[in-house]
Amino acid sequence: IDGVLAPKDYEGKKVVITAGPTIEPIDPVRSITNRSSGKMGYELARELAARGAEVYLISGPTKLKPPFLVKKFFSVESVDEMFKLTLKFFKEADIAIMAAAVSDYKVKNYSNKKIKKSSENLIIELEKNPDILKELGKIKNNTQITVGFAAETNDVIEYANKKLINKNADIIVSNDVSRKDIGFDSNQNEVVLISKDGEKHVEKSSKRDISVAICNYISSKFSK
Ligand code: CTP
Ligand code: CA
């Protein structure tokens, strides 16, 4: 049973988690989105809550039910909405885990009316979204821990290390999305956890076991 046998190493910790995809509207019937089932973020939310954390789960649309022990659940669509809520709860939080697949860009001029088909080519202008993890990296105090993900198709470790530094994150969970057997819709994943102390490989296993490994890794960084 969830939470009964788990260690309680997260008691008293507040954790903000983003999960799932984001949706940027183009017009009332169309949008830009990113592929994400939300499974990894929801597994982390479940594991952390079972270990005693107060979890704030901020999620884009998924097919999943919020984990039973997670009492603060927020459903969002756009990155701006996700950003606003994440900032609000991060102020009080000890840990932020950004597991959402965030759209890097949003539509510059949203059309209130459905865009009609006309010319052969259509250009939609996009503008950059806020980088939530990076913004948290700028405002965090020296006890707050930020954790990000890096889903890459190539040069995985190199890009993940760059993200660790560029976003001033404490941990980057990296995985290779070019592999067909893991990630995205799969229940399995294989990741490398990266921090300033080095790299730790987590062998291919269920997203539930990966979430346990990530939580163990984060708690090993407490008060360090
Ligand atoms: N992230 C975020 N806000 C964004 C973009 C990304 O919080 N606007 C977070 C993701 O949730 C993830 C981490 O940053 O935890 C890395 O996301 P990724 O898309 O891999 O990084 P980018 O900096 O957007 O780089 P790129 O897409 O060019 O690889
Ligand atoms: Ca991105």
- The yes-or-no verdict on residue 73 having pLDDT over 90 is yes
pLDDT for the residue numbered 172: 98
pLDDT in tens, 11-38: 999 999 999 999 999 999 999 999 899 9
CB of 197 within 6 A of ligand 1: the answer is no
119 Cα to the center of ligand 1, angstroms: 34
Q: Is the per-residue pLDDT at 4 higher than 80?
A: no
150 within ligand 1 shell (Cβ under 6 A): yes
Task: Please tell me the predicted confidence (pLDDT) of residue 3.
Answer: 63
Regarding the beta carbon of 100 and ligand 1, being less than 6 Å apart is answered yes
What is the per-residue pLDDT across 181-197, written as a single tens digit (0 to 9) for each? 886 677 889 999 999 99
Rounded to whole angstroms, the Cα distance separating 116 from 171 reads 45
Q: Which atom of ligand 1 is least distant from the CA of 147? A: 15
The annotation places the binding site at 104, 114, 130-133, 149, 163, 167
Task: Give residue-wise pLDDT tens across range 90-139.
Answer: 999 999 999 999 999 999 999 999 999 999 999 999 999 999 999 999 99
Helix 79-90 crosses helix 132-139 at what angle (to 10 degrees)? 20
Q: What is the mean pLDDT of the chain?
A: 94
Convert the pLDDT of each residue in 205-223 to its tens digit.
999 999 999 999 999 988 6
Which ligand sits nearest to residue 129's alpha carbon?
1
- Answer whether 149 contacts ligand 1 (Cβ < 6 A): yes
Domains and CATH numbers, the chain: 14-104+128-219 (3.40.50.10300)
Residues with CB under 5 A from ligand 2 (ion): 104
